[in-house]
Structure formats: C-alpha cells, structure tokens
A and B are shown apart, each in its own frame.
Chain A
Amino acid sequence: NAGVTQTPKFQVLKTGQSMTLQCAQDMNHNSMYWYRQDPGMGLRLIYYSASEGTTDKGEVPNGYNVSRLNKREFSLRLESAAPSQTSVYFCASSAQTGNQETQYFGPGTRLLVL
C-alpha cells in the first residue's frame, strides 16, 4: 500500500516548456487534489476532483489544467511554464469518515522554472 505517489520528484523547466505532473493513489479514495506551496503562503488549492470524471477549479487555477484519468490517477499539466510557477506541488487524496475529511499527501514535486 503505497498511499499517494507523485512523479517526478524534481524538475527544472525553461520558460514556455510544458510538462505533466503525475499522481496516483491506491486507497480507493474518490476525491483528489493538487496544491502548490510557496514560502509563507501555505497550501493553495489549484484544482480538485471530487470523483472520477469531475474536476473543479480551486484558488489558483490559472496556467494549469488537470485530468482525472481514472479513480486512481489525477494529473496536473503546465502548458507553458512561467517562473511564477516555481513551487512545490503536492497531490492529495481524501477519505471521509462521518463529517471528518482526512487528506493524505504525496511526497511532492519540486519544480523550478528558469
């Protein structure tokens, strides 16, 4: 049981390049999320998927697209990377027990855009 996995762990891009961050979970969770974390800004939600086949914008969606490929996988795409997208990206999935929702995070992808 690997939990939430993300690839790659590190990436360096040049401005204008594109890339896809991969995320997979093996906990059979319905909901999955993409966050970015910048110093002093906490975790900001980019996109989320409440169930297979649905995606919704979060707080900072501009410059990103997502695909919920199946229940396990949720990918994040940068079509034309910009230096402002230099950040640490976390994928998460969540489990609901009654009114309590617990998020499980992947190890993160550290992205540098030059």
Chain B
Amino acid sequence: GQSLEQPSEVTAVEGAIVQINCTYQTSGFYGLSWYQQHDGGAPTFLSYNGLDGLEETGRFSSFLSRSDSYGYLLLQELQMKDSASYFCAVERGDKIIFGKGTRLHILP
C-alpha cells in the first residue's frame, strides 16, 4: 500500500518559523512535492524534492530523506497570508498521491 501521514493542524506565531512533517509508506516514487491551498481556493504547487536534502525557495524550504521515509516543509518569517492547508504528495506511476493535509493557523 501507500500512504502519507501529516499532522492535521499546526499553530504558529506571525514572524516565527514552522515545520510541517510528512512521513510516507510507499516505494518506487520519484520525489516528494508540496502544495498549498487557501480556504475556498485550489491547491497550488509549492516545491519538489527529487533528491535527498534541502530545497529552498524564498521563505519556503523543503527537505527529503528517503532512508527515513520522511520529508518536511519549512516556512520562515511567517505571514498571516501563509494561513492555509499544506499537502505533501508523491508520484506513483501516472498518479499523484496526496496526504490529507495540514491546516496551518497563524496567530498575530
């Protein structure tokens, strides 16, 4: 089988750093992706890790460790507009499998 596990909710303070973890039980995938979805909106692509290690894109970074079946999304200098749901996803053949998402709450 294949599954991705994420915390259902995370709360952080504006200006702080938050890490959203994703553990997976699947094999034979190419890499780990992250998507962001604001309330009432559609998911949008954030980042992709094809290799182990850290990928940085502005305030967002993503990490993958295949040996630990683990990845995370790191958001720095949190802004209120970062309040959203974040999904990790893996590609399996012709399909992408999504985690159930982590709702990020940001406190002022």
Residues of A whose CB lies within 8 Å of any CB of B are 31, 33, 40-43, 45, 48, 50, 56, 58, 90, 94, 98-108
**What are 16 of the A-B contact pairs (CB < 8 Å)?**
A40-B8, A42-B99, A43-B87, A50-B94, A99-B91, A100-B30, A100-B48, A100-B50, A101-B30, A101-B33, A102-B33, A103-B45, A103-B89, A104-B45, A105-B43, A108-B42
Interface size class of B (residues with CB under 8 A): 20 to 34
Task: Evaluate contact between B48 and A102: CB separation under 8 angstroms.
Answer: yes
Residues of A within 8 A of B41 (CB): 107
Residues of A within 8 A of B44 (CB): 105
Q: 7 closest pairs, A vs B, by CB?
A: A42-B100, A99-B30, A105-B42, A43-B98, A50-B94, A100-B48, A101-B91
Residues of B whose CB lies within 8 Å of any CB of A are 8, 30-31, 33, 35, 41-45, 48, 50, 87, 89, 91, 94-101
